[in-house]
A and B are shown apart, each in its own frame.
Chain A
Amino acid sequence: MKYFLFIYLMFSSLTTFADADLDINQGWIQEGPPNARVLAGFMVMTNPTSTDIIIKSATSDSFKRIEFHRTLHENGMARMRQQPQLTIKAGGSLTLEHGGYHLMMFQPASRLKAGDQVKIHFQLSNNKKQSVTVPVKTPQGDQQGHAHHHHH
């Protein structure tokens, strides 16, 4: 009976852990000028669970600090505002994109170029953690869908 309970607990905790996972896709960081002090990170975060997931913070060895920001376009003005956390609704998704929510990534530890990979750690609500590795890219043929897709 004790053994059975142990198996049950282990299994249930595994399930809970799997439930907490966000599906993170289409992640990328836009390559910047060599002296860029900030870069922006973008991705699509989907929450397949039946509970809202809150991302409390993000860190990466490649940056001094990461904040959540949102760009607002109002009356011809572009305003950026820091967001204390990101909420991905149960069964919903949150897109981090140009002109909307994004990761504001401060002071790259070294020059990041297209093709580099950056590992980002997210601290979720309830002390859960999740990591994702995203590439550094230039936006060519990525977001804009230009007619010519050649790379140099």
Chain B
Amino acid sequence: MPTDHKENRNHHKFIVGTAAIIALLAGMFYSQKGQRPLPPPELTNATLLSPAKIVQPAGLHDHNKKPFDLKAMQGYWSFVFFGYTNCPDVCPATMFQFKTLAKMLDSYPEIKKQTRFILVSIDPQRDDASHLKDYVEYYHPDFIGVTGNDKDLYSFSRQMGVIYQRQDPENEAEPDNYLVDHSSAILMLNPKGQLQVVYSAPHHAESILKDYMSIYQYAGQE
């Protein structure tokens, strides 16, 4: 009998010890992520990256030729799409979804103030800053165009999880007539300038807005 009692006590010690370790690990886990154990939002077409991914843009500039660096990426929730202005189908469709989203956000001025829309042109040969400026401002005067040289664009796109590939010109006599394959996802940077959300195609302003609102509120609870 006394042996049983002792075994029981040891058993208790083991349970208490294990519980303490789990609690400690959980505490470390949450403090490391800087988050309280809130349930993540239910999203329709978006993937929330947790923790957000640190990205370091270098050498890029916006459509006014101002540097587009980490500092420029901070302070806003930024929708980012990688495309090019000679793209007749996917890019205008996505820019139009951006335009629709911006219009929908007029009903939420507090959120709109903290939201930006950025087109990164991965075709610097044909899209210089002034061409990009006219292009993005057609969709919305506040939209931002970003580009840079091939090397810096490649580095930024890889950090953002984006792939693109320039195709050979269809006709050798027209070397400026080529297509560029590119990722169709819309990315979102958080106000720290970190990659936080991936919105998968097909893009519809309504579902993007719904997901963004959920993420915005979730982030605001931290």
Contact = CB atoms under 8 A, between A and B. Distances in A.
A96 B137 CA distance: 27
Nearest to A82: B170
A105 B86 CA distance: 11
Contacts of B177: 106
B184 A73 contact: yes
B14 interface: no
Given A76-B200, A105-B88, A144 B183 contact: no
A76 B185 contact: yes
B18 to A, nearest CB: 42
A33 B87 CA distance: 12
Interface stretch (A6-14, A35-43, A51-59, A120-128): A35-43
A33 B85 contact: yes
A104 B91 CA distance: 13
B184 A77 contact: yes
Interface in A114-152: 138-139, 144, 146
Contacts of A34: 134, 138
B25 interface: no
Q: Of B93, B138, B205, which is in contact with the most chain A CB atoms at under 10 Å from its CB?
A: B93
Contact of A33 (B135, B163, B204, B206): B135
Nearest to B180: A80
A69 B184 contact: no
B89 interface: yes
A99 interface: yes
B201 interface: yes
Nearest to B163: A77
B25 to A, nearest CB: 34
A35 B134 contact: yes
Interface string B1-30: 000000000000000000000000000000
Q: Of A77, A78, A98, A102, which is in contact with the most chain B CB atoms at under 10 Å from its CB?
A: A78
B100 A144 contact: yes
B163 A99 contact: no
Nearest to B126: A37
